[in-house]
Amino acid sequence: MSLFGGRRKDGSSEATPPTAGGPTGAATPPAASPAPPATPAPEVVEKRMQPPVPARAVGGEAMANIGKSIVIKGDLSGEEDLIVEGKVEGRIHLPNHKVTIGQGGNVEAEVHAKSIVVIGRVSGNVSATERLEIQASGIVHGDVKAQRLVVSEGAVLNGSIEMSVKEPTAARPPAPAVPIGAAAAAAGSERRTG
């Protein structure tokens, strides 16, 4: 490129803009093109082996999950809560944990657990040592046994129901009987105003 306006190496001509530097007509240096963005130096990431994480953890408790496409035939037992979204045929035995039959869950099995929530379908006897809940979309075909039973409006339950009560650990003596006249007199004495 020529300093005083002339021809470029490619043959085209260019006009040199006037400069404010003086009468010599010296050209100002061309504006610098922006520098390409600097690429950051690659970071060194240290990966450590971590223990496997359970399928779900709720409140620090491990929870197993049987997915929608899983079919299990046989007995299930263990020491963690369970969510069934797939199909189980056989027996589920988790006496110290919670079993949830999810919306897509289809269980053709005897189910025994501490707490059971049915949102999907169960064909078989269901026994909960503490609580059984059948939600509005839940269907149970079989006998149920639980201390507490919650059946939402719209749920289906076809079978017999047995509800047991936990035996109290220490029997309390009954409260002493108070004659009606004495109770009324005591109530009247508390109404005195000063």
What digits encode the pLDDT tens for the residues 4-51?
555 555 555 555 555 554 555 555 556 666 666 666 665 555 555 444
Give 7's DSSP letter. B
User: In whole angstroms, what is the distance from residue 135 CA to residue 147 CA?
Assistant: 17
- Higher-pLDDT residue of 1 and 70 is 70
Burial (CB count <10 Å: 0-12, 13-18, 19+), residue 191? exposed
Q: What is the pLDDT averaged over residues 46-72?
A: 65
Give the span between the Cα atoms of 58 and 191, in whole angstroms: 53
Interval 128-185: pLDDT, tens: 999 999 999 999 999 999 999 999 999 999 999 999 776 655 555 566 665 555 555 5
Q: What is the DSSP pairing of strand 71-77 with strand 61-66?
A: unpaired
- Give pTM, 2 decimals: 0.56
Report the pLDDT value the prediction gives residue 160, as an integer from 0 to 100.
Answer: 94
What are the φ and ψ backbone dihedral angles of 185, each rounded to 5 degrees? -65, -40
